[in-house]
Amino acid sequence: MNIELIPAIDIINGKCVRLTKGDYAQKTVYNDDPVEVAREFERLGFHRLHVVDLDGAKSKHIVNDAVLRQIASATGLVVDFGGGIKTDEDIEKAFRAGASMVTIGSIAVTAPERFSEWLCKYGADRIILGADVRNGMVSINGWKEDSDRALLPFLRYYVEQGVKNVLCTEISKDGTLAGPAIELYREVMHEYPQIHLIASGGVSSNEDIDALDKARIPAVVFGKAFYEGRIDVNRLMRSSRHVGKGAGLAKRIIPCLDVKDGQTVKGTNFVNLRQAGDPVELGKAYSNAGADELVFLDITASHEGRKTFTEMVTRVARELNIPFTVGGGINTVEDVERLLYAGADKVSVNSAALRRPELINEITTRFGSQVCVVAIDARQEEDGSWHCYLNGGRVPTERTLFEWAKEAEERGAGEILFTSMNHDGVKTGYANEALARLSDELSIPVIASGGAGTKEHFRDAFRKGKADAALAASVFHFGEIKISELKEYLQSENITVRR
């Protein structure tokens, strides 16, 4: 499956709701806490979220920006936000609150010059054209009014202006669970194959999403079908090989904390360890500094026991509001269960999976692909080949990097964390050639690790290495690179990151 999967949260009075055909009188409240819902979407493995401020759409100005801020702070999801955006101040408010993209509908109809100015000012990667359709005509102001603009000419005007992303909602289908307007979306894609079209309205089942995928619709938004249990998320995730690879997704910055005896350490080429602080305090600091996720690796778990590390995971979970992955000495499904129960969002398996690849299947069958990160430590040999290593890079194997990564994906891994042994700790840059090959050959996200020394190294990992995320340790731990400054730099290089 190639379609991008985007769950939706619609907000009224700070609550997660769904309407039927845009009718505020036909409102169902599904959860009083949208942040809790967003966390669940992230836990299930989704990487992007569509948030609609229905109060804002009705009031013609943003109302629920505080909820947006809470969602953005509590998750690593890439959030696009719409509803009530009428002014520059509204857009700036949405971006300050944590939106990566904004969806704009009514203004594109009523004030096209203003929309075109925003497209130029903020860039086509951050502006989504909202095209809400009823009887072939574009609707405005929270679907309460029909304009005199027919859909295809309306789109043509903005595609010529440089629009890349279009969210098209068939109002008569929205909230009805009657199936999506596939023929409408096919017509749009036939006319404008260059756009990233997001289909919205009517999705009722996995089969509806499969049908959209077969019709080669790039992306789909769904809400009510999920909330009412009509979508089998595990089956959806297993069939989707492009979760996290969709257009417009932000690159993630991930500090890594290697833990030994309850303290964070970092060495060069996995030796010469030195203390770098308390992992809980460092985790809190990174969360406050804008890190998208964290990784905690117990580098001596297989030698010194796991009780101290598990206790640390519990303390970390109490203090952090961003996702974190834990790894080190995970050999069984029971180990995974223990760490997830302690509060971890994901687990990273390395040596145990290499020794017994079935472990990946066991983890993903029980907990889902989204929790399983397969870490691969590999070294490039003199003949140019890349070989995998066990036990923190101490024991060579015959397995090669690319064939093992592909097998891990086929067994259900949700992400690959690739560390180059040649580059780790020496701060000369990531193994970008190998990263690019991994990214090209795999459909799941690839995390770059090993070699970060400058901001430019992160840029190259994303641009040359095509990585979905970049992990680093000492440059963050000792203040050599500040995450906020790194993100500002990457944005200046036209690399999309979460603010």
Is the Cα dihedral 437, 257, 457, 487 positive or negative? Answer: positive
Structure tokens at 335: 């180990």
Looking at the chain, the whole-number percentage of residues with pLDDT higher than 90 is: 48
CA-to-CA distance for 233 and 7, rounded, in angstroms?
A: 11
In sequence order, what are the residues at sequence separation of 6 or more whose Cβ sits closer than 8 angstroms to the Cβ of residue 403?
none
Angle at the Cα of 240 (from 231 to 356), degrees rounded to 5? 110
Q: pLDDT tens, 192-232?
A: 988 999 999 999 999 999 999 889 898 999 999 999 889 98
CA-to-CA distance for 330 and 416, rounded, in angstroms?
A: 16
Q: pLDDT tens, 422-471?
A: 998 889 999 999 999 999 899 889 999 999 999 999 999 999 999 999 99
**What integer pLDDT is reported at residue 174 of this predicted model?**
79
Q: Which of 189, 136, 176, 155 is nearest to 3 (CA)?
A: 189
Q: Which of 220, 129, 109 is nearest to 174 (CA)?
A: 220
Q: pLDDT tens, 280-293?
A: 888 888 888 889 99
**What integer pLDDT is reported at residue 145 of this predicted model?**
67
Per-residue pLDDT at 242 exceeds 90:
no
Structure tokens at 118: 């925003």
State the pLDDT confidence band at 144, using cuts at 50, 70 and 90.
low
Per-residue pLDDT at 249 exceeds 70:
no
Phi first, then psi: give them for residue 324, nearest 5 degrees. -140, 145
Please identify every residue annotated as catalytic.
Answer: 258, 377
In 105-247 the beta strands, taken as DSSP E runs, fall at 127-134, 137-140, 145-150, 165-170, 196-200, 219-222
Looking at the chain, the whole-number percentage of residues with pLDDT higher than 70 is: 90
Average pLDDT over residues 35-50: 88
Higher local confidence (pLDDT), 105 or 483: 483
CA-to-CA distance for 96 and 475, rounded, in angstroms?
A: 26
Phi first, then psi: give them for residue 333, nearest 5 degrees. -60, -35
Length of the chain equals: 499
State the pLDDT confidence band at 310, using cuts at 50, 70 and 90.
confident
CA-to-CA distance for 488 and 151, rounded, in angstroms?
A: 37
Q: How far is CA 204 from CA 3, 47, 227, 386, in A?
A: 16, 21, 11, 45
Amino acid at 436: A
Residue 220 φ/ψ region, left for φ over 0, alpha for ψ in the -120 to 50 degree band, beta for the rest = beta
CA-to-CA distance for 72 and 38, rounded, in angstroms?
A: 9
Highest averaged pLDDT of the listed ranges 142-146, 275-279, 479-483? 479-483
Q: How far is CA 19 from CA 26, 41, 96, 201, in A?
A: 6, 20, 27, 11
Structure tokens at 249: 């997704």
**With contact defined as beta carbons under 8 Å apart, do 47 and 244 qualify?**
yes
Per-residue pLDDT at 301 exceeds 60:
no
Which residues on adjacent β-strands are paired with residue 198? 167, 219
Q: Which of 70, 38, 100, 73 is nearest to 292 (CA)?
A: 73
CA-to-CA distance for 432 and 314, rounded, in angstroms?
A: 35
**With contact defined as beta carbons under 8 Å apart, do 285 and 326 qualify?**
no
Angle at the Cα of 45 (from 81 to 387), degrees rounded to 5? 125
Cα dihedral 489, 490, 492, 498 in deg (nearest 10): -110
Q: Which of 140-144, 257-261, 468-472 is predicted least confidently? A: 140-144
CA-to-CA distance for 330 and 311, rounded, in angstroms?
A: 15
Per-residue pLDDT at 359 exceeds 90:
yes
**What integer pLDDT is reported at residue 324 of this predicted model?**
92
